[in-house]
């Protein structure tokens, strides 16, 4: 599909000076927070002189909500994946569950966020966490929040937990994600921006293996399961060590002290294993890896792709992890492995065949380069408190020449596409062109 794109008039510090943005996140793991900081960097680049406040939604809610929800998430994903998968399906298919999150939980979060929003008086509000989005949408529906709300989806595969009446604009990572959003929220614009990562991942870091005590000629496998180290991290490490004698495995244990101690004990008998805890600036480490193994399909996977690293999804987490892994596999930028044996085989192929590794790097680089995170800031509307205006190709101040621009370039998708589908209109040739068929290394 093609949409009309206005080339815009550009903007200066005088236009954007003092514009206030509020980004609401949620500290479940670190991915949502990391995405919030990536969005903030983009806003600072495109809106010179703007002011940005990042609000952690659980801190606003209080009453121990953060630790409780983190514990529930850890138990659901780590110990009862079957229940997590059932919950994921219920959110997608059961209107009563969606009503509960949108109305009950959304009302609870809305009451907590309202004073912070009133005090901050933002021109636009963005959210990188689903329950924060539920609260903001509730305020928007009630008329309490009069500026636009943009939901920035951290998962590669959008799902109904992110979608609420009252959201003005959705931002997604992947082209297939945009297709899904047109089904989930057919009346709202959608913008594709590519990986939600900080600028250090989107440029070529001046990285050196020496700072990580990694041999220059080693095949480095970076294994990460997020800040909570959920899933089969130990199994992934063991499978990676078995792949090739040149393989050096770097295991990131996040903030999980017990997992780190367990792997440090393993490292005493496995000299090719390096065990690290939380790494504050992981861009340089990701850049020196030959491949990244992950299980969530969230920000860590996006960071790998932004650095042009081959990506292997090992036993993806229930729910959003499995869905996102499938999308990445269909896009041709990830191999999916359900067993340690499969992971060993895939890593051995990458380690021993330079052509296979180079091809995987090329696919990752092309995937990350198709879109630009700054497109989010350029298409962002700001609200009525200081005059409604938009930057870039959404600028409405004066007409400009228009050209046909494909959706893949990052332009917002017009909502009439979904309406034409509902009316039975035939899709255009561009609408019929989708990502390559999915593949699994276990097939």
Q: Evaluate whether 2-194+371-432 and 201-369 have a shared fold.
A: yes
Confidence check: pLDDT of 61 > 80: no
Q: Give me the residue label for tokens 């604009």.
A: 169
Spatial distance between the Cα atoms of 86 and 296, rounded to a whole number of angstroms: 17
Q: What is the pLDDT of residues 342-354, one digit of tens each?
A: 999 999 999 999 9
Q: Indicate the range of 19-28, 199-208, 231-240 predicted with least confidence.
A: 199-208
User: What contacts 358, CB < 8 A, 6 or more positions away?
Assistant: none
CB–CB of 229/253 below 8 Å?
Answer: yes
* pLDDT tier, 229 (very low <50, low <70, confident <90, very high otherwise): low
**pLDDT tens-digit map of 17-36:** 789 999 999 877 777 888 99
Using DSSP bridges, classify how beta strands 311-314 and 291-294 pair: parallel, antiparallel or unpaired: parallel
201-369: which CATH number, 3.40.50.2000, 3.40.50.450, 3.40.50.620, 3.40.50.1980?
A: 3.40.50.2000
Whether the predicted pLDDT of 43 surpasses 60 = yes
pLDDT category, 389, cuts 50, 70, 90?
very low
Q: Going by C-beta distance under 8 Å and a sequence separation of 6 or more, which residues neighbour residue 161?
A: 88, 91, 101, 130
Q: What CATH architecture is 2-194+371-432?
A: 3-Layer(aba) Sandwich (3.40)
Kindly report the average pLDDT of the chain as a whole number. Answer: 80
Q: What is the distance between the alpha carbons of residues 100 and 108, in angstroms, rounded to a whole number?
A: 11
Structure tokens at 221: 């496998």
**Res 404 pLDDT > 50:** no
Provide the 10 A C-beta neighbour count for residue 178: 23
* Ranges of each domain in the chain: 2-194+371-432, 201-369
């Amino acid at each position: 599909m093609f949409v009309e794109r206005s080339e815009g008039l550009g903007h200066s510090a005088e236009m954007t000076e003092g514009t206030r943005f509020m980004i609401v996140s949620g500290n479940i793991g670190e991915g949502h927070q990391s995405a919030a900081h990536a969005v903030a960097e983009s806003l600072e680049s495109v809106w010179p002189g703007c002011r940005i406040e990042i609000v952690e939604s659980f801190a606003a809610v209080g009453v121990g909500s953060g630790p409780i929800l983190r514990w529930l998430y850890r138990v659901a994903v780590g110990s009862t994946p079957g229940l997590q998968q059932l919950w994921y399906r219920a959110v997608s298919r059961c209107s009563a569950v969606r009503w509960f999150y949108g109305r009950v939980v959304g009302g609870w979060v809305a009451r907590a966020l309202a004073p912070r929003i009133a005090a901050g008086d933002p021109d636009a509000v963005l959210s990188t966490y689903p329950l924060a989005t539920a609260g903001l949408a509730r305020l928007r529906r009630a008329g309490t929040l009069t500026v636009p709300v943009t939901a920035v989806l951290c998962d590669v595969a959008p799902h109904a937990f992110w979608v609420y009446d009252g959201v003005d604009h959705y931002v997604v990572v992947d082209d297939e994600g945009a297709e899904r959003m047109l089904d989930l929220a057919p009346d709202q614009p959608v913008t594709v921006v590519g990986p939600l990562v900080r600028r250090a991942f989107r440029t070529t870091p001046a990285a050196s293996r020496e700072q990580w005590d990694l041999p220059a000629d080693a095949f480095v496998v970076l294994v990460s399961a997020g800040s909570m180290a959920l899933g089969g991290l130990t199994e992934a490490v063991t499978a990676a060590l078995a792949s090739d004698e040149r393989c050096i495995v770097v295991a990131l244990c996040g903030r999980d002290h017990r997992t780190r101690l367990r792997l440090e004990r393993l490292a005493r008998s496995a000299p090719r294993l390096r065990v690290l805890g939380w790494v504050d600036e992981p861009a340089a480490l990701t850049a020196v890896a030959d491949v990244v193994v992950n299980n969530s399909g969230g920000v860590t996977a996006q960071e790998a792709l932004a650095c042009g690293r081959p990506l292997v999804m090992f036993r993806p987490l229930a729910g959003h992890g499995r869905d996102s892994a499938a999308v990445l596999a269909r896009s041709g930028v990830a191999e999916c492995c359900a067993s340690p044996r499969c992971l060993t085989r895939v890593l051995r192929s990458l380690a021993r065949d330079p052509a296979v590794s180079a091809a995987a790097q090329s696919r990752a680089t092309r995937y990350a380069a198709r879109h630009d995170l700054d497109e989010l800031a350029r298409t962002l509307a700001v609200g009525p408190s200081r005059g409604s205006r938009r930057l870039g190709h959404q600028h409405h101040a004066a007409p400009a020449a228009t050209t046909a621009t494909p959706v893949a370039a990052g332009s917002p998708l017009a909502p009439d596409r979904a309406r034409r589908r509902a009316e039975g209109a035939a899709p255009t040739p561009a609408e019929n062109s989708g990502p390559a068929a999915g593949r699994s290394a276990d097939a």
